[in-house]
Structure 1
Amino acid sequence: MIRVFQALMALTILAALAACGGSKPASKFRSYSGPPVTQIFVDKSDRKLYLLNGKTPLRGYEIDLGSQPVGHKQFEGDGKTPEGLYFIARQNPNSQYHLSLGISYPDVTDVSRAMAFGQSAGSDIMIHGRGPYGNAVGKRDWTAGCIAVTDEEIEEIFAMVRPGTPILISP
């Protein structure tokens, strides 16, 4: 009986110590209860991304682009960020860049253009956080064609934007 009592006391003490062990790390998943994001506008020349509800801006962010930011993405590996009208195709909660939203690039026109030159149009163009790699680079326009924001900003964007949201990427 004494051993059972000692075991229960040890478990109680361990549970109390665990409860005092500090707060849980903050989750990268946020909630959002404001107006819906109906479209995303990216201005490559100003390095800005805007989340809009109709024509009303909800949020704006400074962005990093591909390593060769001027011009429309033509081929895989060209370092360019696409230009044109696409949509958010998917959310990736396990991105190597913290969180990411997949953009529907390439479309049929992009694939046809690249094939005419015997090239691949590329794929996996995202809006994503910097993650460990982007934070280590320490320079602007470092992605392979994606649109990058801070990890805190992608948490906010990830909570606000749903698949199917149109994204217009302007030169």
Structure 2
Amino acid sequence: MLNRLFRAVSALFLVGLVASCGGAKPEPTKFKSYDGPPVTQIVVKKGQREMYLVSGQKVIKNYKIDLGSQPVGAKQFEGDGKTPEGLYFINRFNPNSLYHLSVGISYPNNDDRARAQMMGLRPGGDIMIHGLGPYGRAANRPDWTAGCIAVNDQEIEEIYAMLARNGNGTTGVPVFILP
């Protein structure tokens, strides 16, 4: 009899414990949804530290950005700390980025490879638009990346959603990176 009473009280306690968990706030998610106009191009103005997401001829969103640690001039080779300049394309999405989320840019293209090869160097790669992740803003200094374009984590969530279009991964969007 005492054993049954103990089991009943234990069961009620467990039911109460599980029920109390249901009222907790849901974890915030880094995967947002977006149902606005499609992004048809991205324009990066390195000198102004601005990035514009464009639909047709209308800017739908703009962001302040950080660049590579040596922001003046186009990327020439791996390790130069420069952000590329020219026409590239969105070519991949990384939901598991060390920098919260990231969206890949198609650097290096054939011209970039040839230029680096003429110098006997590798062009580098893995150029992304990404968030800050655990690195913050690299000791609060601007232009801290290895050549990528950085925004804050909330902004990369927006950008990722705008380009991914609710999971459909829109690759091929042109990215114009201007001096």
Instruction: With the length of structure 2 as denominator, give the TM-score of the two structures.
Output: 0.90
Q: Distance in 1 between matches of 2:9 and 2:160?
A: 49
Q: Distance in 2 between matches of 1:103 and 1:121?
A: 14
Unaligned stretches of 5+ residues in structure 2: 164-169
Q: Distance in 2 between matches of 1:156 and 1:108?
A: 31
> Residues 58-137 of structure 1: matches in 2 within 5 Å?
58-137=60-139
RMSD of equivalent CA atoms? 1.2
Q: Distance in 1 between matches of 2:99 and 2:105?
A: 15
Q: Distance in 2 between matches of 1:61 and 1:74?
A: 25
Identity %: 57
After superposition, give the CA deviation of every residue in 1:68-110 in whole Å (9 maximum; x if it has no partner). Answer: 1111100000010000000011010111011000100001110
Moved more, 152-161 or 128-137: 128-137
Confirm or deny: 8 A CA contact 1:134 1:142 kept in the other structure. Answer: no
Tell me the residue number matched to 1:5: 8
Q: Note the C-alpha offset of 1:131.
A: 1.3
Match of 2:176 among 143, 161, 168: 168
Q: Distance in 2 between matches of 1:164 and 1:6?
A: 61
Unaligned stretches of 5+ residues in structure 1: none
> Residues 37-48 of structure 1: matches in 2 within 5 Å?
37-48=39-50
SS at match of 2:177: strand
